[in-house]
Structure 1
Amino acid sequence: MRIFIILLLIFFMCGSKPQKLEVKMKRKAFVSGQFYPSDKKELKETIENYLKKAEVLEIKEKIIGILVPHAGYPYSGGVAAYSYKAIKDKNINTIIMLGPSHQATFEGFALYGDGFWETPLGEVAIDEEVAKKLKSKCLLLKENKNAHNYEHSLEVQVPFLQTILKDFKIVPIMVLFPKYEECESLAKAISEVIKESKKNIIFLISSDLYHGYSYKECVETDKRTLNYIEKLSPKDFYNALLRGEVAACGGFPIVIGMLICKNLSEKPFVKVLKYTNSNEVMGVSSGYCVGYSSVIFTIPEDNRQPQKKEEFTLSLTEEEKKELLNIARQTLTSYLKERKIPDFKITSPKLKERYGVFVTLEKHGQLRGCIGYIEGIKPLYEGVIDNAINAALRDPRFLPVSYNELKDIKIEITILSPLKRIKDLKEIQVGKHGLFIKKGIYQGLLLPQVAVEYNWDRETFLKHTCLKAGLEEESYQDKDTEIYIFEGLIISE
């Protein structure tokens, strides 16, 4: 009987297909009890208390990413809560987490591509499907769990995510010192995965700001850093990091986040929800100081490409108009005196939208300079900064404006609607439209107010625009001449 049983067991063992036993790696919490409470109840109550105190207005745009600090909860937890409250209860399936490595060194980017992460609040699964797709699109992204094992920058974010979201997964990625092109490579892969996936995927950047022993320097440096982030110019921010002009331990993850925003939409937007530093949190004005901020990255909810409109619908409040004129005036004052461009804190979303813009300078009623961008290649306020300087110093028709002249200079800003090509000249309405004429390598533009000032009719307006382009005045009648109209919102001192 015993022999029969043994033979039967051998039969079933040999005849059965061996089952592969797959064991998933589980990353244990490393800084639990140090950076945040190790007791489940205390941890949950701590986070909920931070969230309750964070006051965040409704965000109408689609949030595609957040920036949060990673110090111990008593220092930065209250600040981090602002970004987390903004995405609380959103239907988010996966968070691609980008954090700086404070411990490990490695080449490329370090991925934790499968298994689970554990905190006192439970386990969170890795989104293995997204991780695999990212690895296939970015060869610099390599499986490297060891780089994550003793790192706190991403671990401290997980309990917050567990508190505000349900049924989500994560993809943790560590970043060290990548070249700009490497940042572009990873950002491109993440952007493509987000676009291609049916899941709602966002990115998370973990970063503190200034680290040092001066409270004053902390505030000044962090203001400069956040201004750079709001401009959403990743190459400029990357170079500023290398120069030491800005400070963020997660600076390179921030660059990657900026690039993702630019890849996903023509009209991304950055909003700083909260800023403070460790000295302010502790109620002291000296000693070691670290800056913390909560930032969200958004795009239009439907993310449709902006359509060119026949009617110019941009409207600015009186305060926004005054702000643009003030930006132009302060830029000229600072740049003509010290060759420095002031830092401007822009809060209005409209001033960050992209429009063509011209700056006109007049002195005693006479033109002193006028240069601009025909199309919206930069945010509006940046276009005003650039062209205030260009009109003062780079209009080839005039000598450069001097600092001593500024008291006599009047500033006018014209914001342009998108260009519209026309075939029928009757579409041109003098007093409403400006003209842009192009033929071969020749092109010229006249603003809407020019025809009004000189009391021109439509034909005269066309002729003068041709002359401005360096063409014969009748060239507007030629078949290969392109004629465009636009509207302008005029703001004057």
Structure 2
Amino acid sequence: MGPTCLKNLVETLSSGDQQDLLKLAADSIEMGLKGTQLEVDLTVYSGALRDPGASFVTINVRDQLHGCIGSLEIKRALVIDVVKNARAAAFDDPRFSTLTQEEFEDLHIHISVLSSPETIECASEDELVRQLRPGIDGVILEDGASRATYLPSVWEALPDPQKFLRQLKCKAGLSLDHWSETMKVQRYTTKCMSSRVSSGKRR
């Protein structure tokens, strides 16, 4: 699937598609709590959900981050990507303890569906900073074996483009003032959706 198709996928997900993704994410986590895998029948979902796609799933418990796992590369159908990333966010994010049943009942699920990344051409950090679009761009930074991304939602905590970029370098394991001719920077946009699980019921 080419960049234009991926951009269209992000732009044309229907409200029904979004609700399907949120329900599947919650079901995947709930099945994980029971020690089983959610089986997905692709034939019952729309073409947009069956198409290859990349997503990030973020979970919060009592308004505190409790896991975030995602895909930057297109590897599988969008619906499968969301199901796998939701389970991984709940149980495999090494920064957090494994989600419990009690926490599940006060869970907030946020899904970001990514557009195809596009390269930002720049010859200096100042030039790159000028091209960033706060609140819009997700950014992937890569230099050699170092790689990291910030979703567009991170702009809420880091609204200054230079601070945003330098903290992203830090996340990638690079120095704050790092710059090299081999560094690659890409941007993407996201389609976001969210829902809350309360007392075992989605709302």
TM-score band, normalised by shorter chain: 0.7 to 0.9
Instruction: Measure how far apart 1:336 and its partner are.
Output: 1.3
SS of 2:159's equivalent in the other structure is: coil
Cα deviation code 1:292-338 (max 9, x no counterpart): xxxxxxxxxxxxxx432499332211111000000000111112123
| 2:6–2:116 contact (8 Å) kept in structure 1 | no
Distance in 1, Cα, partners of 2:37 & 2:7: 34
TM-fit CA distance, 1:339? 2.2
Q: Residue 311 and residue 461 in structure 1: after superposition, are their counterparts in 2 closer, same or farther (change >3 A)?
A: farther
CA contact (8 A) 2:40 2:80 kept: no
Aligned length: 186
Question: Is the Cα contact below 8 Å between 1:355 and 1:415 reproduced in 2?
Answer: yes
Question: Percent identity between the aligned chains?
Answer: 27
**Map 1:401-420 → 2, pairs under 5 A:** 401-420=99-118
1: CA distance, partners of 2:96 / 2:143: 26
Residue equivalent to 1:354: 52
Counterpart-to-counterpart distance in 2, 1:449 and 1:307: 25
Q: Are 1:380 and 2:83 an aligned pair?
A: no
Residues 459 and 385 from structure 1, CA distance in 2 versus in 1: closer, same or farther, beyond 3 angstroms?
same
Aligned to 1:341: 38
Letter aligned with residue 384 of structure 1:
V
* 2:173 pairs with 1:470: yes
SS at match of 1:355: strand
Q: Secondary structure at the match of 1:398?
A: coil
The whole-number CA distance in structure 2 between the counterparts of 1:377 and 1:322 is: 22
Residue 327 (structure 1) aligns with: 24
1:443 to 119, 133, 147: 147
Q: Counterpart of 1:286? A: none
Distance 1:344 1:490, change over 3 A: same
- 1:488 deviates by 0.7
1 or 2, which has the higher strand percentage?
A: 2
1:350 shift after superposition: 0.2
1:308 to 2:3 alignment: yes
* Structure 1 SS opposite 2:52: coil
SS in 2 for 1:341: coil
Unaligned runs of 5+ in 2: 123-127, 196-203
1:421/1:310 CA distance change after superposition, 3 Å: farther
Residues 369 and 316 of structure 1: CA distance in aligned 2, closer, same or farther (over 3 Å): same
Aligned to 1:394: 92
Residues 349 and 422 (structure 1 numbering): CA distance in 2 closer, same or farther, change over 3 Å? same
Residues 355 and 439 (structure 1 numbering): CA distance in 2 closer, same or farther, change over 3 Å?
same
2:197 is aligned with 1:489: no
CA 1:454–1:310: 2 relative to 1, 3 Å: farther
Partner SS, residue 339 of structure 1? coil
TM-score, structure 2 as length reference: 0.85
C-alpha distance 470-412 of structure 1, shift in aligned 2 (>3 A): same
Instruction: Describe the shift of the 1:311–1:457 C-alpha distance in structure 2 as closer, same or farther (beyond 3 A).
Output: farther
Letter of the 2:64 counterpart: Q
Q: Aligned in 2, Cα 1:480/1:358: closer, same or farther, shift over 3 Å?
A: same
SS, match of residue 412 in structure 1: strand
Where in structure 2 are the equivalents of 1:63-102 lying within 5 Å?
none
Question: 1:160 maps to what in 2?
Answer: none
Structure 1 segments unaligned to the other structure (5+ residues): 1-305
1:367-404: CA deviation from partner (whole Å, max 9, x where unpaired) = 10001110211100000011011111111111111222
| Contact 2:141-2:183 at 8 Å conserved across structures | yes
Q: Return the alpha-carbon distance in structure 2 between the equivalents of residues 391 and 470 of structure 1.
A: 22
Give per-residue Cα distances to partners, 1:28-73, cap 9 Å, x unaligned. xxxxxxxxxxxxxxxxxxxxxxxxxxxxxxxxxxxxxxxxxxxxxx
Shift in Å, 1:469? 1.1
Alpha-carbon distance in structure 1 between the residues aligned to 2:93 and 2:118? 26
1:486 Cα offset (Å): 0.7
Structure number with greater Rg is: 1
Contact 2:158–2:164 (Cα < 8 Å) also in 1: no
Q: In structure 2, what is the Cα distance between the partners aligned to 1:474 and 1:324?
A: 39
If asked which structure has higher relative contact order (CA below 8 Å, sep 6+), I would say 2
